[in-house]
Structure 1
C-alpha cells in the first residue's frame, strides 16, 4: 500500500498548489504552495501549513497574525497536482493586506478594481 503523500504529483521544486476555501461560504481565500512536509504537518495539526517560496521555509498560516486556518476537509484533484482545503478562517482575515480573501480585485473595463474592504490594517496585524 502506497503512502498517501506519494499520490501527490509534486512539481520540479517539490511543491503542489494548495487552495484554501471557506468551508461555510465557499469563497476562495487564498492559494499558496505546500511541500511534502507542509502537507503532512497540515494533516497532523489540522491547521494549514504552507511553504513560502520567497522565504524558502515552512509557514504556519497565522503564526504572526493569529489568523490560522482550521482544516475541515482536504481533497486532491483528478491529476493529483492540486490540493483544495475546506477551512475555518480564524479571525475572518486570510490576506496579508487585512482582507477576507487574497482575491479582492475584480476585472472591470480592463482594469483591476479593489472590491473588498480592508477589515484590519496590516500594521495592526503584523507588529
Structure 2
C-alpha cells in the first residue's frame, strides 16, 4: 500500500488548524508519562512542531529562546515517544502522553521539571538529580 504524502500533509494541516494558537503562534504542550500519569514537563509548540510530532511520533517542541524546533532527546538521548495526543476543551493546550526514554525529562537531570515544592519555609527542591546535565549536554550547556 502506497502512502499518499500529499494527502497525509493535508490531514496534518487540518489537525494543526484545529488548535487555538496564541498571538505568537504557540500553544503550551504538557508531556505526561503514559503509564504513571506523572506530569513530566511543559514546553511550547508551534504548528510545525505539532506537525513534526505527529509525523515522527516523538515530541518536537519550539524553543522560544533559540527560535527553532528541538526534538526532545536530540542531545541528551532522553527521547519522548508519543503514545497519545490530545487537546483540551478550548483547543489551546496540548497534552501528550509519552514514553520517556531514560527516565529523565528535565534538562537539570531530574525525572521531571516539577522538582521544586512549596512547604512552610518556602520553595524546596524535592527530587534528586538522576543524571549530571554535563554528561548529557557537555559542560557548556544552557
Q: How does 1:42-61 map to 2 (within 5 A)?
A: 42-61=53-72
| Aligned-residue RMSD, C-alpha | 1.3
Residue of structure 1 in register with 2:4 after alignment: none
Gaps of 5+ in 1: none
Q: How does 1:16-27 map to 2 (within 5 A)?
A: 16-27=27-38
Task: Work out the CA distance in 2 between the residues paired with 1:51 and 1:117.
Answer: 27
Aligned equivalent of 2:131, options 116, 120, 125: 120
What is the number of equivalent residue pairs in this alignment? 127
Question: Is residue 2:43 matched to residue 1:32?
Answer: yes
Per the TM alignment, residue 110 of structure 1 is displaced from its structure 2 partner at its CA by 5.0
110-119 vs 37-46, which moves further: 110-119
Structure 1 runs of 4+ aligned residues shifted over 2 Å read none
TM-score (norm 2): 0.87
Task: Work out the CA distance in 2 between the residues paired with 1:31 and 1:20.
Answer: 6
SS in 2 for 1:3: helix
SS in 1 for 2:105: coil
Q: Structure 1 or 2: larger strand share? A: 1
Residue of structure 1 in register with 2:103 after alignment: 92
Mark the structure with the bigger radius of gyration.
2
Per the TM alignment, residue 83 of structure 1 is displaced from its structure 2 partner at its CA by 0.1
